[in-house]
Amino acid sequence: MTNLTQAIPVNNFHPSITQRLLSLDFLRGIAILLVLGRHIIVIPSHLPFPIMLFLKTWAKIGWVGVDLFFVLSGFLVSGLLFSEYKITGRVNVFSFFTRRGIKIYPSFWVFLFISFLVTSAVSPSMWRGGKHTIIELLFLQNYLPGQWDHTWSLAVEEHFYLLLGLLIFLLSRAKNRFINLSWFIPITVVLCFSLLFARGIKTCILSGLPDRLYMKTHFRIDGLFFGALMSYFYHFKFGSMERLVKKHHRYLWVMVLFLLSPPFYGRIENGRFVNSIGFTLIYVGFGLLLAIFLFPLEEKMKFKSLGARIVCGIGRDSYLTYLYHFPIYYWTLYLFMKAKLNTQAYFYFHLLLYIGASLLIGRILATLFERPMLKWRDKWFPSPLHRRFETGS
């Protein structure tokens, strides 16, 4: 997740820029709300049928929120590099890694410390030990057992940042006139098809589903690179992309509905279709949804309703909310079960407590810690674009 303002092409500012930022925050809000539903583990069978059906569907499809995050992160983070290249003609990869690190690591370190304190107080047996914490700190928890089961997606994103920065740096510095940044398109296309092929081979021909295939970087990083591919077209083929999206707006909505259907009839844990071609269909669907939000038919997409503003606000705090929601669910569930509060009324209370506490803690920590940290970063490690504008070069 990144600073949205810095990810928009510098030479494409126009009056609707605020609406575009709201659109992306809205999508991030939808993503985190989906993820919150994914981790509702306990759903009593005696609930009224409509409520039980809603909660089970939410829990079943909620995992696609991570895939939406992947596409958005790929789009926004690569946009920082593409914008820098368009203005300066080069990419400062050291600055990119430094600013990314300050954005991600301090909040993550604080999360590990706070979760250690709270887990030690609530249920010490939940804490898996120092070895697992080191795995978390090294962002290897999608290959080795870490402390928390939900942070695997952060590891995939960290690996993507490293590969993306190095790839764009090398392409932007290539001395050969036949190799330039436009090679990003075929490289990304080949990578996406290669991973689709690899997932198909693994799930359908070889040994079936490996343990948690969906967590592995070498099976999931294509979703992030597809978001980066969307960003490339947005930054370097802006006019063509806008005309294409607006011309086929209704057809794109139909395609989005079709492409995002796999979670409704397949399971991420053991579904061969979902774990092979399903992931590809989903990230392409979210990529098209992103394009629709970037280029709405109406110049100003309406985000004036209270509900839309709330979702946009949730989206702005999504990183912190994502970090804390999973342990919050298990901390509160453990306390409720320990107190034998297992009636239907207490289930509703626990559900509201879980969602409310996750969103509230995300907002508080984003306000008190994350945003001041980003201001400090921008002061001492400013974006290369900002330095260029300030010096007049």
The model's pLDDT over 24-56, given as tens digits with 9 standing for 90+, comes to 999 999 999 999 999 999 999 889 999 999 999
Banded pLDDT at 272 (limits 50, 70, 90): confident
In the block, tokens 């343990």 appear at: 211
Q: Kindly state the average pLDDT of the residues 221-229.
A: 98
For residue 361, give Cα distances in angstroms to 102, 139, 322, 323: 20, 23, 10, 10
- pLDDT tens digit string along 273-292? 999 999 999 999 999 999 99
Closest CA to 76 of 160, 195, 155: 160
pLDDT tens readout for residues 319-375? 999 999 999 999 999 999 999 887 889 999 999 999 999 999 999 999 999 999 999
Boundaries of domain holding 76: 4-391
| Nearest one of 302, 300, 291, 301 to 246, comparing CA atoms | 291
Given a cut of 80, whether residue 13 has pLDDT beyond it is no
User: Lowest-confidence range among 47-56, 115-124, 209-218, 230-239?
Assistant: 209-218
Report the distance separating Cα 61 and Cα 261, nearest Å.
10
Is the pLDDT at 143 greater than 60? The verdict is yes
Report the number of distinct structural domains present in the chain.
1
More confident residue, 218 or 269: 218
**pLDDT in the model for residue 341:** 86
Residue 271, pLDDT > 50, answer yes
Give dist(CA 258, CA 235) in Å, integer.
27
The rounded distance, in Å, linking the Cα atoms of 361 and 65 is: 19
Cα–Cα distance, 34 to 56 (Å, whole number): 12
